[in-house]
Chains A and B, each alone.
Chain A
Amino acid sequence: MPGIIYKKWLAVMLAFMALFLTSCGEKEAERGKLIMVTNATFPPYEFYQGSRIVGIDADMVREIAKRNDLELVIEDMAFDSVIAAVQTGKADVAASGITVTEDRKKQIDFTTSYVKADQVIIVRKDSDIVGPESMRGKRIGVQHGTTGDMYVTENLQEPERFQDGALAVASLVTGKIHAVVLDSAPAEEHVARNKGIRILPMALVSEEYAMAISKSRPELLAMFNRTMAEMKVDGTMDAIWARYLDKDGKPLAVPAVEAEEDKGMWARLADSFEVNFVKDDRWHYLVDGFLVTIEISACAVLMGLCIGFLVAVVRSAHDQTGRYKVLNFLCHIYLTVVRGTPVVVQLLIIYFVIFGSVDVSKVLVAIVAFGVNSGAYVAEIIRSGIMAVDSGQMEAGRSLGLSYGTTMRSVILPQAFKNVLPALGNEFIVLLKETSVCGYIALQDLTKGGDIIRSQTYDAFLPLIAVALTYLVVVVCLSQLLKKLENSLKKNER
């Protein structure tokens, strides 16, 4: 009997959900933690070495945390989100090569500045660009939200904004853009790793870096300034600097750029594979990210099913019997709002606004955002399945003396589910791929894993292909599972 098959699948799904959710409850607010946010694609100030974030900023804050008996937690996110994160209390401090500007001073407080830096222009070796004016009209890349971005926007034109500097440089290297405006230190790092590009010998702007702390935390600000002063005096600051820059301010420990022999395509592919996945165990980013993606998708699917089912039943009952007027109205609002806004925006609102000052696991936030989003679409899918069932079925049920509810449960809903299984499967496949935007809240999923590899190797091809292939394999497996379910339900007909 079909009912048994449903119950089996439901039990399996619920078991998985329980398993995943127990692993979700991670971050509890603890005393003695210092949360730093940064955009870890900015060498030598913050960058990934294996799975650790290191660099001048990272080491500096690590030392400050140690001296004040705090445990340091570093979160990597988009640069244009770090200041918001400090403002909303999601993080204690933002250290990300942030330039001191008057506008930013209005939003947060800055510590004493710790370095002077310049904005410089990077171009390809064969470029005829010599200065800002000769960039006009060409395609200029910047990192979103940085002072380089602001300079170009105010003085020249709308630049092309990238999530991180490495992606901008990668675009320059492949010829997609003509110039990149970036801070001098990371620019040096990028040039050292990429033959084919050079820095123009002129500073566009000179500026200072400082760390950002919420205006409502004066005691934290004082602690930072005090500790930094101590570190300057006892030479720790210099020691940290010396790990990454030589006495001329040029980056240290630059990997020797291999002379480009004329290797065949397969040899180059093998090299690329080694650099992208094997070296430094970079494949970890993909595997760990994959697990996060699966976890979020599975839980969100279940949540979406539950919400969607309830909403669909309320809406159908209201349409058919006129009951539940208030509930129906609420469902209507839910459907309109959720289907009328992009899921990325919903994700950001849930993270920064709804859970703004609460310390919750990012995985939980993602599950809620995608679950609530999916629920709206699932609701309409199920409702259309209910409406597609022949009205004679309900009439027959009622004419035998069965109540509306019993007829729905025993006759209509089972048929409705069978009707919409393809559409539901489709929705879940879409959901799986939609989760790829959770990098916006610095969640390291499969897509973000690929991004991190790209930002370390400047190679776009293999990381992207690997990420795409992984999604593809998952979708194909999911489709097969759904087909099996459909067939086992169809067994009863013909």
Chain B
Amino acid sequence: MNADNILEVRELVKEFGDHRVIDGVSVGVKKGEVVFLLGPSGAGKSTVMRCMNFLETPTGGEVLFHGQPVDRSENGLNHYRSKVGMVFQHFNLFANLSILDNITLAPVKCGLMSRTEAETQALHLLHRIGLRDKAKAYPSQLSGGQKQRVAIVRALAMNPEVLLFDEPTSALDPEMVGEVENLMRELARDGMTMLVVSHDTDFAMELADRIVFLADGKLVVDAPPAVIAASDNPRIRDFFSIR
């Protein structure tokens, strides 16, 4: 694969019991790239992403960060995860903490910055997404779209090198999808390296530098949107024209 990849998986295999969910997938992302992982439900897209930050333990294959295998020790993983952030389908904001504390918790506890620095940064980030007045509110008081944007900003607070998005808009009402996708466009424009699992094929065609299409745990195609659009693979044509 490409030596410029910041983050990649090689021949990734994941089995749950007898069921082989991922069967030798290799995917990578370069600095500043936006890569979308698409495919039918059950294709293993989320599992690939969760293997990337070891929320699932790969059964086989490698995960490489800057070309080196990830240090899977207790400290090694914590350090790695501080550089590879994740945004979840169900937001997973810390329910017992205020919005401000949600954002400052990790930077402070991981020793990245002092409490005052973290708060300043957090307020700045909140201002950027227009939610500064929600700093003292609690997650249960926010709408879905607001929660997800806070979740993105929480991940950004760690100054990650890569951001993984696991179906960021799948749990949102249609009218809130837009505000989240706008934020993602902004991040892409500012040069963030992003890997996105999504069902939104239109968004993928618009934003992605490359689209990786998975089916039955295997990689079907890995190409820029223009190439995908011109593909004669019936399965791909079918998938993309449903939208």
Q: Which residues of A contact B (CB under 8 A)?
A: 1-2, 390, 392-393, 395-403, 406, 410-411, 414-415, 418, 492-494
A410 CA to B55 CA in the complex, in Å? 20
Among A392, A395, A401, A411, the residue within 8 A (CB) of B97 is: A411
**A2-B96, A396-B92 known; 15 other A-B pairs, CB under 8 Å?**
A1-B101, A396-B93, A396-B94, A396-B151, A399-B88, A400-B81, A400-B106, A400-B110, A401-B80, A401-B106, A401-B110, A402-B78, A411-B94, A492-B138, A493-B95
- Say how far A388's CB is from chain B's closest CB, in angstroms: 12
B82 within 8 A of A: yes
Determine whether the beta carbon of B82 is less than 8 Å from that of A395: no
B149 within 8 A of A: no
- Say how far A25's CB is from chain B's closest CB, in angstroms: 39
Determine whether the beta carbon of B88 is less than 8 Å from that of A403: no
Q: Which residue of B lies closest to A392 (CB)?
A: B92
Per-residue CB contact flags for chain B residues 88-130 toward chain A (1 = under 8 Å, else 0) read 1010111111100100011001100000000000000000000
A396 CA to B53 CA in the complex, in Å? 11
Determine whether the beta carbon of B92 is less than 8 Å from that of A415: no
Determine whether the beta carbon of A493 is less than 8 Å from that of B138: yes
B232 within 8 A of A: no
Which 4 A-B residue pairings sit nearest by Cβ, starting from the closest? A401-B82, A396-B92, A400-B106, A392-B92
Q: Which residue of A lies closest to B84 (CB)?
A: A399
Q: Which residues of B contact A (CB under 8 A)?
A: 53, 55, 74, 78-83, 85-86, 88, 90, 92-98, 101, 105-106, 109-110, 138, 140-141, 151, 154-155, 158
Count A-B pairs with CB separation below 8 Å.
77
A350 CA to B101 CA in the complex, in Å? 47
A400 CA to B155 CA in the complex, in Å? 7
Determine whether the beta carbon of A399 is less than 8 Å from that of B53: yes
- Say how far A324's CB is from chain B's closest CB, in angstroms: 14
Determine whether the beta carbon of B78 is less than 8 Å from that of A403: yes
Q: A400-B85, A401-B79, A403-B74 are in contact. Are A414 and B96 (CB under 8 A)?
A: yes
Determine whether the beta carbon of B105 is less than 8 Å from that of A398: no
- Say how far A296's CB is from chain B's closest CB, in angstroms: 33
Determine whether the beta carbon of A400 is less than 8 Å from that of B96: no
- Say how far B221's CB is from chain A's closest CB, in angstroms: 28
Determine whether the beta carbon of A399 is less than 8 Å from that of B105: no
Among B55, B138, B140, B158, the residue within 8 A (CB) of A401 is: B158
Determine whether the beta carbon of B78 is less than 8 Å from that of A395: no
A402 CA to B101 CA in the complex, in Å? 14
Listed by A's residue number, 28 A-B pairs whose Cβ atoms lie within 8 Å are: A1-B101, A392-B90, A392-B92, A393-B94, A395-B92, A396-B86, A397-B94, A398-B81, A399-B85, A399-B88, A400-B105, A400-B154, A401-B79, A401-B81, A401-B83, A402-B78, A402-B106, A402-B109, A402-B110, A406-B109, A410-B105, A410-B109, A411-B94, A411-B96, A492-B96, A493-B95, A493-B140, A494-B140
**Could you say which residues of chain B place their CB within 8 Å of the CB of A392?**
88, 90, 92
A397 CA to B158 CA in the complex, in Å? 12
Q: Is the interface of A mostly helix, strand, loop or mixed?
A: helix
**Could you say which residues of chain B place their CB within 8 Å of the CB of A396?**
86, 88, 92-94, 151
**Could you say which residues of chain A place their CB within 8 Å of the CB of B106?**
397, 400-402
- Say how far A5's CB is from chain B's closest CB, in angstroms: 12
A494 CA to B84 CA in the complex, in Å? 32
**Could you say which residues of chain A place their CB within 8 Å of the CB of B110?**
400-402
A415 CA to B93 CA in the complex, in Å? 13
Determine whether the beta carbon of A399 is less than 8 Å from that of B97: no
Determine whether the beta carbon of B85 is less than 8 Å from that of A393: no
Q: A492-B138, A494-B141 are in contact. Are A399 and B95 (CB under 8 A)?
A: no
**Could you say which residues of chain B place their CB within 8 Å of the CB of A411?**
94, 96-97, 105
**Could you say which residues of chain B place their CB within 8 Å of the CB of A493?**
95, 138, 140-141
A411 CA to B154 CA in the complex, in Å? 15
Q: Which residue of A lies closest to B86 (CB)?
A: A399
- Say how far A320's CB is from chain B's closest CB, in angstroms: 13
A260 CA to B141 CA in the complex, in Å? 71
**Could you say which residues of chain A place their CB within 8 Å of the CB of B105?**
400, 402, 410-411
**Could you say which residues of chain A place their CB within 8 Å of the CB of B109?**
402, 406, 410
A418 CA to B74 CA in the complex, in Å? 29
**Could you say which residues of chain B place their CB within 8 Å of the CB of A401?**
78-83, 106, 110, 158
**Could you say which residues of chain B place their CB within 8 Å of the CB of A397?**
94, 106
Q: Which residue of A lies closest to B81 (CB)?
A: A401
- Say how far A413's CB is from chain B's closest CB, in angstroms: 9
Determine whether the beta carbon of A415 is less than 8 Å from that of B95: yes
A26 CA to B109 CA in the complex, in Å? 46
A390 CA to B138 CA in the complex, in Å? 17
A392 CA to B89 CA in the complex, in Å? 10
- Say how far B65's CB is from chain A's closest CB, in angstroms: 13
Residue in A2, A410, A414 whose Cβ sees the most chain B Cβ within 10 Å: A410
Residue in B81, B83, B109 whose Cβ sees the most chain A Cβ within 10 Å: B109
A393 CA to B151 CA in the complex, in Å? 12
A392 CA to B55 CA in the complex, in Å? 11
A1 CA to B98 CA in the complex, in Å? 8
A414 CA to B95 CA in the complex, in Å? 10
Q: Which residue of A lies closest to B106 (CB)?
A: A400
**Could you say which residues of chain A place their CB within 8 Å of the CB of B140?**
493-494
- Say how far B16's CB is from chain A's closest CB, in angstroms: 16
**Could you say which residues of chain A place their CB within 8 Å of the CB of B141?**
493-494
Q: Which residue of B lies closest to A494 (CB)?
A: B140
Q: Which residue of B lies closest to A414 (CB)?
A: B96
**Could you say which residues of chain B place their CB within 8 Å of the CB of A398?**
55, 78, 81
**Could you say which residues of chain A place their CB within 8 Å of the CB of B81?**
398-401
- Say how far A75's CB is from chain B's closest CB, in angstroms: 50
